Amino acid sequence: MTDRVKYLLDETRLPTTWYNLAADLPVPCPPPLHPGTLQPLGPDDLAPLFPMALIQQEVSTDREIEIPGPVRDVYRQWRPTPLFRARRLEQALQTPARIYYKYEGVSPAGSHKPNTSVAQAYYNREAGIRKIATETGAGQWGSSLAFAGALFGIEVQVFMVRVSYDQKPYRRALMETYGATCVPSPSPLTQYGRAVLARDPECKGSLGMAISEAVEVAASHPDTNYALGSVLNHVLLHQTIIGMEAIDQFETADDYPDVIVGATGGGSNFAGITFPFIGAKLRGGPDVRIVAVEPAACPSLTRGRYAYDFGDTGHMTPLTKMHTLGSTFMPPGFHAGGLRYHGMAPMVSHLRQLGLIEARALMQKACFEAGVQFARAEGILPAPEANHAVRGAIDEAIRCREEGVSRAILFNLCGHGHFDMQAYTDYFADKLTDQTYDESELAMALAGLPSVGS
Ligand SMILES: Cc1ncc(COP(=O)(O)O)c(C=O)c1O
């Protein structure tokens, strides 16, 4: 069939392993450092926060890591996810490009995040952990961990960045429906939160602050672990199921992407769709351009410094080498809450240093314009974060039109926006602003980077 619009894989074709890009990297990633000694971190340093199975995945160089049966059983509820050919969008754009999108919004929580929350909850349950504390920006990650906690009998406590908590009351309701608790961060529940509130009672919060609160809770309770929804190697690993399925689906379509576009907050959905393709290329497979798209209001990959920095604002986490705006960087309260993180995943940052990926920063209004155009053509309403990938893909398709060439463009539609209608309402009311920074504004938070030899 030449006019096919969706490529579905049967449940039996669900991948049995995750793909680990560390096995194929030409140069290994710089190691994380202990914040006190500045020496490379050992497994025991992470043991108060994570189960050993996840710590091992964090440092593994095995190419394939088996997905445990109970995790695959949960994945089967919505995976494999569909790969769509965006024929109506192609028509609307009058482009010769072949546009494809992998739709992760079909998961119970509405995004790619359950790919890792289910795995993390499983390994924690296996290690006898009773409770997990975490942060959430957009609320997608908090909902996803709450869902996974309900399945594996783990209590979940979510610190939700205050600005998102106020913008998205129904995300909190969803977390509570799954049995989790959700408090706005900074909160009076932790020493760190109380200190922030004492300085600024109206503080809108940031992902870096919410991480500090969740880490504090986990570090001070032996039966409680911490879980992160992005950035870390094991999180990126769990997301690679997206790209592995996509490779299979492109085979069915008898096509192969020329360019892949993903939105980047901490880097996990981007890694999920691109790493299997990057790995194939590094092993001698087809060339493919890879484009990371981030908000101009939080431009870690395009304007951050590649340096060792803390993952959180309270400086409780290890130091990782990444593109960072500085751990005290406070992004404005724009609507793509999941993209308001000061740093980028070390592995994604490393790829940028190696010249294996490109990065672009986009204004939020242009992203919403693309999201609305996409919704009117394809019917699916993207999450504000996903709109960055939609804009990036549409721009690539317009280039194809201008150059008169047909390229296959793949992007990750990483979540739906059904809980983000206030953002769309504000966009239609022309209430959104585009934020840019001059160098001196960015220099302020960067001045506080920890000093590490190289
Ligand atoms: C729908 C959606 N997309 C993207 C992101 C950004 O995270 P990451 O870059 O890890 O995919 C988030 C984070 O909350 C999200 O909710």
Q: What is the DSSP string of 67-136?
A: PPHHHHHHHTTTPSPPEEE-HHHHHHHT---EEEEEEGGGSTTSBSTHHHHHHHHHHHHHTT--EEEEEE
Q: Is residue 1 over pLDDT 80?
A: no
168 neighbors 338 (Cβ within 8 angstroms): no
- Tell me whether residue 71 is in a domain: yes
pLDDT at 347: 98
265 lines ligand 1 (CB under 6 A): yes
Give 265 Cα–ligand 1 centroid separation in angstroms.
6
Residue-wise over 299-333: b if at least 16 C-beta within 10 A, else e?
bbbbbbebbbbbbbbbbbbbbbbbbbbbbbbbbeb
CATH of the domain at 324: 3.40.50.1100
The phi-psi region of residue 323 (left if phi > 0; otherwise alpha if psi is between -120 and 50; otherwise beta) is beta
145 neighbors 169 (Cβ within 8 angstroms): no
- Tell me whether residue 290 is in a domain: yes
Give 4 Cα–ligand 1 centroid separation in angstroms.
29
103 lines ligand 1 (CB under 6 A): no
Q: Is residue 425 over pLDDT 80?
A: yes
Q: Backbone phi, then psi, for 29, in 5-degree steps? A: -65, 140
- What is this structure's pTM? 0.97
Give 268 Cα–ligand 1 centroid separation in angstroms.
7
pLDDT at 330: 84
- Tell me whether residue 374 is in a domain: yes
- Tell me whether residue 127 is in a domain: no
207 lines ligand 1 (CB under 6 A): no
Q: For residue 268, which atom of ligand 1 is closest to its CA?
A: 10
Q: Is residue 332 over pLDDT 90?
A: no
Q: For residue 384, which atom of ligand 1 is closest to its CA?
A: 1
The mean pLDDT value for 303-326 works out to: 95
- Tell me whether residue 254 is in a domain: yes
267 lines ligand 1 (CB under 6 A): yes
Residues of the chain with pLDDT > 70: what percent? Answer: 99
What are 84-137's pLDDT values in tens digits?
999 999 999 999 999 999 999 999 999 999 999 999 999 999 999 999 999 999
The mean pLDDT value for 364-372 works out to: 98
pLDDT at 350: 98
Instruction: Choose one of 111, 175, 340 to mutate for the ligand 1 pocket test, by most ligand atoms within 8 angstroms of C-beta.
Output: 111
Give 53 Cα–ligand 1 centroid separation in angstroms.
24
Nearest CA to ligand 1 atom 4: 385
138 lines ligand 1 (CB under 6 A): yes
Please list the residues that pair with 103 across neighbouring strands.
413
110 lines ligand 1 (CB under 6 A): no
Give 412 Cα–ligand 1 centroid separation in angstroms.
11
The mean pLDDT value for 287-301 works out to: 97
State whether residue 18 is helix, strand or coil.
strand
Q: For residue 385, which atom of ligand 1 is closest to its CA?
A: 3
Reported as a pLDDT band with limits 50, 70 and 90, residue 454 is: low
230 lines ligand 1 (CB under 6 A): yes
The structural domain count of the chain equals: 1
Q: Which of 381, 373, 376, 386 shows the shortest CA–CA distance to 413?
A: 386
CA atoms within 13 A on the CB side of 435: 18
Instruction: Choose one of 115, 165, 230 to mutate for the ligand 1 pocket test, by most ligand atoms within 8 angstroms of C-beta.
Output: 230
384 lines ligand 1 (CB under 6 A): no
pLDDT at 441: 85
What are 227-248's pLDDT values in tens digits?
999 999 999 999 999 999 999 9
Nearest CA to ligand 1 atom 6: 265
- Tell me whether residue 406 is in a domain: yes
Structural domain of 298 = 9-13+66-110+234-446
The mean pLDDT value for 41-50 works out to: 93
Q: What is the DSSP string of 249-292?
A: HHHHHT---SEEEEE-SSSHHHHHHHHHHHHHHHTT----EEEE
What are 197-206's pLDDT values in tens digits?
999 999 999 9
- Tell me whether residue 304 is in a domain: yes
- Tell me whether residue 56 is in a domain: no
pLDDT at 453: 64
pLDDT at 2: 74
Distance from C-alpha of 78 to C-alpha of 272, rounded to nearest angstrom: 16
Which stretch of DSSP H or E encloses residue 393?
helix 386-403
The mean pLDDT of the chain is 96
349 neighbors 322 (Cβ within 8 angstroms): yes
